[in-house]
Amino acid sequence: MSRIPCKRCGAMVLEATANTYVGLCAPCGNGGGPCEGCGKRLSGPNRSGRYLCHQCWEAEQIAQLTFLPKGWSKLEEIDWSLIQRNFVMLAEDLLRRFREVQENDPAYAVVFQLSQNWILDLHINTEGGVAEIPKIMREKLSWGKDQSDEQCLAEVGIWYTEVWKYANLGCVLETPLGAVDLFHYDLFDKLCDSGESEIICSKVDEARLSAIEAIRNSDAFAAILKSPEFRVFVVDDDGLDYVTKAHIGA
């Protein structure tokens, strides 16, 4: 029996099959197709109508960005509005992916942390995550192994982000270090030791704080399932409230 290539994925299929599905193989004829980037079989196109998996879509978007100029080497060259957009783009992607795995477990808090090397980290814990805090404490910390769950919670409380279920959301979701993250590291290496480092650090904080405001008003943030007591914190690298330097959750 003769075979011909599928018009969408190139797989060799029987002529009878191709006739049934108007030149396509059965999987493509039923709505599927290969990712344009990596070739992975997809059940259907993405929202744009293209067959592109999330990872390849993200890589394409980043590759098309015109605001990652590695040539920036001094303060006056930096476009801070574009730096802000970097943070927003990454955070919104993480929040969308978090919602996909959150299911029906409401978030009780989100912490935006202005971390070292000009990174903006996101920490999220859910009501279900509270029950896991003692277990995570015993795994991560050197003490608490002989304490009850109640004692563990009383000792550390539920506001210690290191023992949250989604502490550092990018790591939990196994997000590889992307072009935008590498860009921030590169910019930090170039400018942090300059004579204007204090001004630059202040500008970076302004960009991150502006990004946090935009993220909080985004559709991706609104889509998160939240508890009635849901709270949002902005903290410094030590995990203290950014403005007052007090411990969060007090």
pLDDT digits (tens, 9 = 90+) for 130-166: 989 888 888 877 666 778 888 888 888 889 998 999 9
Q: Which residue has the higher pLDDT, 31 or 179?
A: 31
CA separation for the pair 62, 194 (Å, rounded): 28
Amino acid at 183: F
Comparing 42-51, 175-184, 232-241, the range with the smallest average pLDDT is 175-184
Residue found under tokens 């590291």: 185
Mean pLDDT of 210-217: 96
**0.85 surpassed by pTM:** no
Give the pLDDT of residue 179: 62
Percent above pLDDT 90 for the chain: 30
Give the pLDDT of residue 66: 47
> Cα separations (Å) of 206 from 67, 80, 234?
18, 9, 13
Percent above pLDDT 70 for the chain: 87
91 and 211 Cβ atoms separated by less than 8 Å: yes
CA separation for the pair 120, 193 (Å, rounded): 20
Q: What is the pLDDT of residues 76-112, one digit of tens each?
A: 777 888 889 888 988 988 898 899 899 999 999 999 9
> 230-241 as b/e, with b when 16 or more CB fall inside 10 Å?
eeebbbeeebee
Q: What is the pLDDT of residues 58-80, one digit of tens each?
A: 667 655 554 445 566 677 777 88
239 has pLDDT over 80: yes
